[in-house]
């Protein structure tokens, strides 16, 4: 039998490679600029930039899920949410190199951060707003960046991912109260026993696609809780209870946030199934 010789990969592109044109790797690798001479700062800097990229990706995915929910394509929304859960697992793993720094190692470059803090991340604020963690006071750190502030202010008043879920459940004939669908979306969502009853019904009787939606949302909520918990542990391990960078309350602030759950009725409804 005649053997077919494998085709050799193309090696010469007469300029940049198609990989470079698509990924823009050379641009990415120019964005790491240490503010100190400590080699450990590079690990912290790259890890933080990776987190920022994942924040942007999650916002993209959840906006896509909102479009699919508004089109009543629950199956597509579930696929998108499950994909985002995998992104969140990778995001959460990024805490490990930071958490393994001793206090002395972290302090060796901490002063170089100045007043910089993850608390000031505009993209992370988008993550929280899309998950329904709304707070007008959280716009304050972004006032000096008008474009970012305006985008976040607009997002504050728009339906969150969970608001779109409740609207989709309502269109399917489930008893989601009208006042929740017409509420002021800039206000933080408050758990409602009637929504809890809707989810309990879904888990007892289906339909299957809505049960899968509930589970996909719970997976997202669980990974977000894990993100907050791992953030707390990494901070506590590397700096104890000292004031955080940028003057934040550090561990005390994170301890308050970790107790909050997104999509609350998906957790409490399980007691009635």
153 in any annotated domain? no
Q: Is the peptide bond before 207 cis (omega within 30 degrees of 0)?
A: yes
Q: Which pLDDT score is estimated for 253? A: 67
231 in any annotated domain? yes
Q: Which structure tokens are listed for 186?
A: 């800039």
Q: Is the pLDDT of residue 202 over 70?
A: yes
Average pLDDT over residues 145-163: 95
130 within 8 A of 62, measured Cβ to Cβ? yes
Question: Model-level pTM greater than 0.85?
Answer: yes
Non-local (6+) Cβ contacts of 167 within 8 A are 69, 70, 159, 176, 181
Q: Which pLDDT score is estimated for 246? A: 54
145 in any annotated domain? no
Q: Which pLDDT score is estimated for 244? A: 57
Non-local (6+) Cβ contacts of 142 within 8 A are 120, 122, 125, 148, 149, 152
Is 245 labeled as ligand-binding? yes
209 within 8 A of 74, measured Cβ to Cβ? yes
Q: Which pLDDT score is estimated for 258? A: 74
Handedness of CA 213, 215, 218, 219 (dihedral sign): negative
26 in any annotated domain? no
Each as own residue / partner, the long-range contacts of residues 206-212 (CB below 8 Å, 24 or more positions apart, any chain) are 207/172, 209/74, 209/75, 209/78, 210/74, 210/169, 210/172, 210/174, 212/74, 212/78
| Domain extent for 217 | 38-107+161-239+247-272
Is 268 labeled as ligand-binding? no
136 in any annotated domain? no
Q: Which of 25, 60, 24, 30 shows the shortest CA–CA distance to 45?
A: 30
Is residue 135 classed as helix, strand or coil in its secondary structure? coil
Count of alpha carbons within 13 Å of 170, Cβ hemisphere only? Answer: 16
Is 143 labeled as ligand-binding? no
CA 24 to chain centre: 24
Q: In this structure, what CATH number is given to the domain that contains residue 260?
A: 1.20.58.480
User: What is the Cα–Cα distance from 45 to 234, expressed in whole angstroms?
Assistant: 15
User: What is the Cα–Cα distance from 176 to 107, expressed in whole angstroms?
Assistant: 51
Average pLDDT over residues 166-178: 97
9 in any annotated domain? no
DSSP state of 100: T
Q: How many domains does the chain have?
A: 1
Q: What is the pLDDT of residues 92-129, one digit of tens each?
A: 999 999 888 888 988 888 888 877 777 789 999 999 99
User: Higher confidence at residue 6 or residue 65?
Assistant: 65
198 in any annotated domain? yes
Q: Is the pLDDT of residue 132 over 90?
A: yes
Q: What is the pLDDT of residues 7-35, one digit of tens each?
A: 778 878 888 899 999 999 999 999 999 99
79 in any annotated domain? yes
196 within 8 A of 270, measured Cβ to Cβ? no
């Amino acid at each position: 039998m005649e053997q077919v010789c494998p085709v050799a990969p193309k090696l010469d592109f007469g300029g940049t490679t198609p990989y470079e044109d698509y990924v823009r790797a050379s641009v990415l690798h120019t964005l790491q600029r240490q503010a100190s001479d400590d080699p450990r700062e590079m690990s912290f800097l790259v890890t933080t930039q990776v987190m920022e990229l994942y924040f942007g990706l999650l916002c993209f995915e959840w906006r896509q899920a909102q479009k699919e929910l508004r089109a009543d394509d629950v199956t597509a929304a579930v696929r998108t949410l499950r994909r985002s859960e995998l992104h969140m697992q990778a995001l959460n793993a990024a805490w490990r190199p930071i958490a393994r720094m001793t206090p002395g190692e972290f302090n060796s470059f901490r002063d170089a951060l100045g007043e910089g803090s993850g608390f000031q991340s505009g993209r992370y604020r988008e993550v929280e707003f899309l998950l329904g963690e709304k707070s007008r006071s959280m716009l304050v750190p972004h006032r000096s960046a008008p474009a970012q502030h305006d985008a976040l202010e607009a997002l504050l008043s728009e339906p969150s991912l969970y608001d779109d879920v409740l609207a989709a459940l309502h269109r399917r004939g489930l008893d989601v109260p009208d006042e929740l669908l017409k509420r002021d979306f800039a206000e933080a969502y408050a758990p409602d026993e009637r929504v809890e009853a809707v989810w309990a019904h879904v888990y007892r009787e289906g339909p299957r696609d809505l049960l899968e939606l509930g589970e996909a949302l719970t997976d997202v909520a669980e990974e977000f809780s894990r993100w907050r918990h791992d953030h707390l542990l990494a901070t506590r391990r590397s700096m104890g209870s000292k004031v955080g960078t940028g003057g934040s309350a550090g561990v005390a602030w994170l301890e308050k946030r970790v107790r909050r759950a997104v999509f609350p009725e998906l957790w409490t409804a399980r007691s009635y199934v």
